[in-house]
Structure 1
């Protein structure tokens, strides 16, 4: 169940993921806690940005965090050791399919399905790891929900580059709107999906910096080299698009984005 991580495994991407997790911690993790002793699988832990939230909000859980990248796991171990030295995590360098035979009370998946060619199959396989009555929590974004002012064709063109490149890599950066049918198709019951919206304007400087600049614009910038190599934009067109997008983080600018959080039960 390997993935082509379109954003790349770079120090800049590691910083972006950390900025995103810190800025959106309450928004994304609000309402999600697990009882001490619960066995929880974090599928696709990446650099541990979300792992920190899991172990600090649900102390005492038996957490297994899995990722296919050794480099990301090393970063995750370091991040969690610094932020939550009391936490015990069972780190696994493995594909999700390597967990056959194991059982969990809960599964947590954040920003993973968007990179998979067959998210329904992945969700169905994760369901097999759940104990009867166990839950899955899935969080995904939807780049089609990005609404910003001032808007320009140049800015939208670089956002569309990210959407198109992720599709070429076999993923779907518009997957947030599909969470409900995906969970149902994978066999989960009691499916509930709700939007978690970010809105940033000059009255919310922490979100302008933490989300508009350091999360969304940085995410678009992460595919610059791919976009240029694919001939989707010229260097001048890319620079102009990013410059226009940055105006949403300046005086008079606004930015809106919606994440979707879904919960299902086996």
Structure 2
């Protein structure tokens, strides 16, 4: 659920470059997420925070029998999602996008499963989303949620230009109502909202000299992720152009070091309505 530009602030913004980055990001992190998700027995899937359809297209590729209803708050993201789906050959027979606030859903049917990925980190009171979608899930519907745990990000060697920028980035996300550590709370949030059979796993990256190409790809991706917050951080006066450039150069140096290490964990939850 990406926030409306006239109300809540969204750290990544809605530029065309950012909309394309979301698709690139989804592909880079596809395997660590989707190798542990099974919607083979699901027909009607509710996707909360569908954005530009970056995750939607992976879901439809991996589970081509699905029909997906994507809920998204920002009209610009829905417009881009429709363009993306059309280019891939998907129409309303496979995917429908609904512009609604995920905290206050008004849907016209129930679903076999729900999917949330990289969304609750941007939401104040994320449990309200879990409460809101529950009436629209069939009994025993599967819920799959993947969320951030940003304090786990670490590189070897440590580059202070990177870690200081990351600290500011995450503090700003908290300031605008998000939670960059929300992944560790998924169990409690699902329990509070009344879901059953909650299971948590930690996924992510631990890349070193044994995976040189994947490590280069992930360092590039992570630099782009951090850079996506730069317009907001610059506008708020939280960083300078010099800090941004130094962070980017440091990430490039790490990417090109044979023995550099990239480490990050996210949290995945599976539960049932």
Would the alpha carbon gap of residues 41 and 206 (structure 1) be closer, same or farther in structure 2, given more than 3 Å must change? farther
1:33 aligns with 2:46: no
**Number of residue pairs matched by the alignment:** 265
Structure 1 residue 144 displacement after superposition: 0.7
1:159 Cα deviation after fit: 0.5
In structure 2, what is the equivalent of residue 157 of structure 1? 164
1:38 deviates by 1.9
Deviations 1:154-176 (A, max 9, x none): 22110111101111110011111
1:256 equivalenced with 2:263 (yes/no): yes
Query: Given the alignment, which residue of 213, 217, 220 partners 2:226?
Result: 220
Hey, what's the Cα distance between the residues in 1 that align with 2:242 and 2:143?
A: 44
- The alpha carbon displacement at 1:227 in A equals 2.0
Counterpart secondary structure, 2:180? coil
Is the 8 Å Cα contact of residues 142 and 173 (structure 1) preserved in structure 2?
Answer: yes
1:73 aligns with 2:78: yes
Residue of structure 2 equivalent to 1:144:
151
Residue ranges of structure 2 left out of the alignment (5+ in a row): none
CA RMSD in angstroms, aligned pairs only: 2.1
Counterpart mapping for 1:23-62 below 5 A: 23-35=28-40, 38-62=43-67
Query: d(CA) in 2 for partners of 1:44 and 1:113?
Result: 9
Alignment-derived partner of residue 12 in structure 2: 7
- Residue 101 of structure 1 deviates from its aligned partner by 5.0
The DSSP-based 3-state class of the residue aligned with 2:37 is coil
Q: Are residues 1:178 and 2:189 paired?
A: no
Q: Take 2:84 and 2:217, find their aligned partners in 1: how far apart are those partners? A: 19
For residue 87 of structure 2, what is the aligned residue in structure 1?
Answer: 82
Unaligned runs of 5+ in 1: none
How far 1:137 sits from its partner (Å)? 0.7
Match of 1:106 in 2: 113
**TM-score, normalized by length of structure 1?**
0.91
SS of alignment partner, residue 187 of structure 1: coil
CA contact (8 A) 1:158 1:242 kept: no
The alignment partner of 1:99 has SS state of coil
Could you tell me whether the CA contact under 8 Å between 2:197 and 2:271 is conserved in 1? yes
TM (normalized to structure 2)?
A: 0.89
Moved more, 111-120 or 202-211: 202-211
